[in-house]
Structure 1
Amino acid sequence: MAVTAVAGAEARPIPRLRRLEDERWLALALLMPTAILLGLFIAYPFFEGVLLSLTSQRVGVPGEFVGLKNFVKIWNDSIFRTTVWNTFWYTGVTTVFKLALGLWLAMLLNRHFKGKALVRAFILLPFIIPTVLSTFAWKWMFDPTFSVINWALFHLGLITQRINWLGDPDLAMTSIIVVNIWRGVPFFAISLLAGLQTISPELNEAAAIDGARPWNRFWYVTWPLLLPVTMVVMLFSVIQTFADFQLVYVMTGGGPANATHLFATYAYQLGIGTGLLSEGAAISLAMFPFLFIIVVVQLLYIRRVETR
C-alpha cells in the first residue's frame, strides 16, 4: 500500500504579528494599555484642572477665561498662606518621626526572637486598617468629653481639667501629626526591615571583630547600605503625606478656624464646599510645583547615593 506524503506549504506569519518580533514594536504594544489608562485617569483630569483654574467657573456657571487671576487671589489669601505652612510643617515633622521610629522598629524586628512573624504582622495593623475607620477611632480618643487620653492623664495626676485637643489650633495640628505618624510608622518599619534583610551579617561580624562598637557598626556599615532603600521609602511617604486628605478631613475638617488646612482639604472646601471650582482647582495646582521640586531633589539625591 503506497503512502503519499503531501508537503504542506509552511504557514507564513501574519504581517501584524511579524512586527511584534521587533523589540521596539513589542515594547510599544505592551506599554500602550498603561499609557491609555494614565492618559484617561491622570493626564486628562490634570489638563482639565489647568483649564478650570484659568476660568471663573462656579457650580452651575460656565465662567469666562480670567488667566492667572485665581492664582493671584489665593496668594493674597491669608488662609492659603497658612495652608502652605501647615503642609510643609505637617510633612516635615511626620516624615522625621516616621523615619526615626520606623528604623528603630526595623532594627528590633530584625533580631531573632519567639513570635517574630506574629509581631511583624501585628505591626502592620495601623497601616492595613482603612484610614477613615482608624481616624474616627482617634477622633473619639481626642474628644474632650469621652477622651481616653484625658481620662488617663487625669488619673495620672498630669491634668486637672479636660483638654479640647481638636478645639485648639496648636493641639489640633499636633493631634493630626500624631495620628499620621501612627499610621506611617509600619510602612517605614516593614520597608526598612526588608532593606536590612539584604545586608549580609558577615559585614557587621567583621566590624565587631575589628573592635567596632554597635553604634559605629550601624553608622559606618548598616546605614550606608540602607540609605538607598531609606530614600525611596521617604520619597513615597513625602508624596503621600504632602497630598493627605482623608485623615485631616475626618479629624478636623481643616478647623478650628481653618488652622489645620492642607492643600487638599482647602481645595476641597473652596471647590466643593463653596462651589468655587476654579479657585479650588488653582489651589490644587499650586501644590504641584512644591511637590515637583521636592520629588526632583529627592530623586537626584537617590541617584547620587546609588552611584557612590
Structure 2
Amino acid sequence: MSRALQRRENIAGYLFMLPSLIFFLGFVVIPMIICILLSLTDANMHTEGMFGNFIGLGNFVRLWADKDFLAALKNTFVIVIVSVPAVCAFSLWVSSAIYRMKGPILSAFRCIFYLPVVTGSVAVTVVWAWMYHNYYGVFNYILGPQGLGLIEGRINWLGDERFALGCIILILFTTSVGQPIVLYVSALGNVDQTLIEAAEVDGATEFQVFWKVKWAQMLPTTLYILVITTINSFQCFALIQLLTKGGAGTDTVMYRIYWTAFKLTEQAGHFGYANAMGVVLAIFIGLLSAVQFKLAKEK
C-alpha cells in the first residue's frame, strides 16, 4: 500500500471518529479537567468567576475530618462490597441454569431479568417504595402477623437505620443482575465445546469442567461485569435521592456530592468541596478497577 493511500485511509478513519471524539472531549475529558481544577479552589455561589480562590489541597484535607463524608464513604463501600459479589455470583448461577434452554424459554428468562434494567429508575423506585411502605407495604403484610408472622409489628424499612441501607442494596441488586445474566449466557454459549468434550473424556467432573474450562474462557466477561457493577455501585444516587434523601444511614458519596453542591444554599454551595469529593470517588473507582484488572490477568 502506497503512503498516499495509507494517509487517505487514516484521514478517512479519523473523520469517522471525529463526532465521537468531539463528544468524548466535550463531555468527558474537559469536565474532568474542570472538576480537578475546581477541587483545588474554594468556588461557591458567591465567588467571582468560575474557580474562585486557589486553596491547593485544602478541600482534600478537610474531607478526612468531615464525619458526614466519612460516613457516606463507609456506606458506599458497604454497598460495593455486598452488591458486587452478590450480583456476579447470582448472575453466573442463573445463567448457568438457563443457557441450555431452548430459544423461546431462554428469551423469556432474559426478558424477565433484563426488564428492571430498561425500566425507568423512577418507576422502579415507586414500586419498591410501595413495597417497603410501613403501613400498607407488601413486606410488612407478608412478614407480619397476618402473613408469615416473622415480625411482630410494622417496620419502617426506609426510616430505620437497621434496615434502610440493606433495602437500598436489595433494590440495587435486582436492577443490576439483568445485564450480567445476558452477558454470561452469551459467554457460556461461546465456550469451546471441543475443550469440554475433551475434559469429559479425561474423566473431569462437572465442577472441574466448569472451573478449568468454562470459567477460564469467561474471565474477560467476568472482568467486564466486575468493573461495570463496581462503578454502578459506587455511583448509587437515584435510589437514595428518591427514597431516603440520605437519611436513616443511607448517605452515599454521590448523594453527598449533590447535597454539598446544590442543597447547602445557606453555605453558598460548596462547588470546590463537592468536586474534591468527586475526585476522591474517581480515585477509589480507578484503584479498585485496576486491582480487578490485575487479578484477572494473573489468573
Q: TM-score, normalised by structure 2?
A: 0.88
For 1:249 and 1:175, locate their aligned partners in 2 and report how far apart those are by CA, in whole Å: 14
Q: Say if 2:287 is the partner of 1:293.
A: yes
| Structure 2 match to 1:52 | 38
Among 192, 195, 207, the residue aligned to 1:215 = 207
2:29 alignment counterpart? 43
Distance 2:36 2:107 in 1: 48
Does residue 1:178 correspond to 2:170, yes or no? yes
Aligned to 1:261: 251
Q: 1:56, CA displacement in angstroms? A: 1.8
Partner of residue 61, structure 1:
47
* Deviation at residue 22 of structure 1 after TM alignment: 4.0
Task: Report the AA paired with residue 289 of structure 2.
Answer: V
1:132-167 superposed Cα distances (whole Å, 9 cap, x missing partner): 210221122112112101100011011111111111
Q: Give the superposed CA RMSD.
A: 2.0
Superimposed CA distance per residue, residues 78-97 of structure 1 (whole angstroms, 9 cap, x where no aligned partner): 11111222112211210110
1:199, 1:222 within 8 Å by CA — same for their partners in 2? yes
In structure 2, what is the equivalent of residue 106 of structure 1?
A: 95
What secondary structure is seen at the aligned counterpart in 1 of 2:246?
Answer: coil
Of 132, 148, 151, which aligns to 1:159? 151
Aligned length: 286
Offset of residue 31 of structure 1:
3.2
Give 5+ residue unaligned stretches, structure 2: none
* 1:90-169 paired onto structure 2 within 5 Å: 90-113=79-102, 115-154=105-144, 155-169=147-161
TM-score, normalising length: structure 1: 0.86
Partner of 1:84: 73
CA distance in 1, matches of 2:88, 2:290: 20
Q: Could you give the per-residue CA deviations for residues 24-64 of structure 1, whole angstroms, max 9, x where no partner exists?
A: 43443333332222111112212222222222222243342
Aligned partners of 2:38, 2:246: CA distance in 1, in Å? 24
Paired with 2:221 and 2:128, the residues of 1 have a C-alpha distance of 31
Find the residue that maps to 2:156 and give its secondary structure: coil
Q: CA contact under 8 A between 2:143 and 2:149: conserved in structure 1?
A: yes
Q: 1:33 to 1:19 in 2, by over 3 A?
A: farther
1: distance between equivalents of 2:79 and 2:9?
Answer: 46
Query: Would you say the 8 A contact 1:19–1:25 is kept in 2?
Result: no
Q: Indicate the percent of aligned positions where both proteins have the same amino acid.
A: 29
Aligned 8 A contact 1:232 1:302 in 2: no
Tell me how far 1:291 sits from its aligned partner.
Answer: 1.2
Deviations 1:182-206 (A, max 9, x none): 1111111111111001013343334
Q: Say which one has the larger Rg.
A: 1
Is 1:238 matched with 2:230?
yes
Letter in 2 for 1:45: P
Q: For residues 127 and 298 of structure 2, what CA distance do their matches in structure 1 show? A: 42
Residue 249 of structure 1 is matched in structure 2 by 241
In structure 1, distance between residues paired with 2:289 and 2:93: 25
CA distance in 1, matches of 2:14, 2:6: 9
CA 1:233–1:206 in structure 2 vs 1: closer, same or farther (change >3 Å)? same
Q: Amino acid of the residue matched to residue 122 of structure 2?
A: V
Partner Cα separation in structure 2 for residue 184 and residue 110 of structure 1: 19
Residue 124 of structure 1 aligns to a residue whose secondary structure is helix
> Tell me, what secondary structure is at the counterpart of 1:115?
helix
What is the SS of the residue equivalent to 2:91?
Answer: helix
Give the letter for the 2:58 counterpart.
K
- Structure 1 residue 230 displacement after superposition: 0.8
CA–CA separation in structure 2 for the residues paired with 1:213 and 1:70: 56
**In 2: Cα distance, 1:100 partner to 1:288 partner:** 25
For 1:236 and 1:209, the matched residues in 2 are separated by 37
2: distance between equivalents of 1:117 and 1:30? 35
Could you tell me which amino acid in structure 1 is paired with residue 39 of structure 2? S
1:128 and 1:145 map into 2 onto residues whose CA distance is 29
Q: Structure 1: 5+ residue runs without aligned partners?
A: 1-17
